[in-house]
Amino acid sequence: QVHLVESGGGLVQAGDSLRLSCAHSGRTFSTYAMGWFRQAPGKEREFVARISRTGYTQYYLDSVRGRFAISRDDAKDTVYLQMNNLKPEDTAVYYCAADGRRTGYWTRWSDYDYWGPGTQVTVSS
């Protein structure tokens, strides 16, 4: 069983930055592509970013492209989401997810095998 725990959320003002972390344990981290999802109040869960097993390929939701960056550190079994120029519409619970079977671009929650409990990000105007 893979266990994921997110951290780094908080309350910030518009224009500020945050870096989220997701610690992975239980199985070999380097065999998993990793993703970030978010769910805002009153809205459905949506895909934010994905990084390949090698770390060389990243995919982003259009509205965060150029502001957010996903990365991974296999030595620490951790995936990150650097969020810059945050906007109120970025307010959501952010979840990390692990995909041990697929390659390429996958954006559905059900495409992933394991998920963390989430961390809250709140951006004030």
pLDDT of residue 119: 98
% of the chain at pLDDT higher than 70 = 100
**Which three-class secondary structure state does DSSP give residue 93?**
strand
Distance between CA atoms of 54 and 63, rounded to whole angstroms?
25
Distance between CA atoms of 86 and 46, rounded to whole angstroms?
17
pLDDT of residue 56: 94
Quick one: which of 83, 62, 84, 80 has its CA closest to 71?
A: 80
Dihedral over Cα of 55, 65, 84, 114: its sign? negative
Distance between CA atoms of 43 and 6, rounded to whole angstroms?
21
pLDDT at residue 79 tops 90: yes
Residue range 112-122: average pLDDT? 97
Residue range 47-60: average pLDDT? 96
Distance between CA atoms of 106 and 124, rounded to whole angstroms?
31
| Burial (0-12, 13-18, 19+ Cβ within 10 Å), 12 | middle
Average pLDDT in the chain = 96
The tens digit of pLDDT for each residue in 2-33 reads: 999 999 999 999 999 999 999 999 989 999 99
| Burial (0-12, 13-18, 19+ Cβ within 10 Å), 33 | buried
pLDDT at residue 1 tops 90: no
pLDDT of residue 25: 94
| Burial (0-12, 13-18, 19+ Cβ within 10 Å), 117 | exposed
The tens digit of pLDDT for each residue in 89-108 reads: 999 999 999 999 999 999 99
The tens digit of pLDDT for each residue in 80-91 reads: 999 999 999 999
Residue range 40-59: average pLDDT? 96
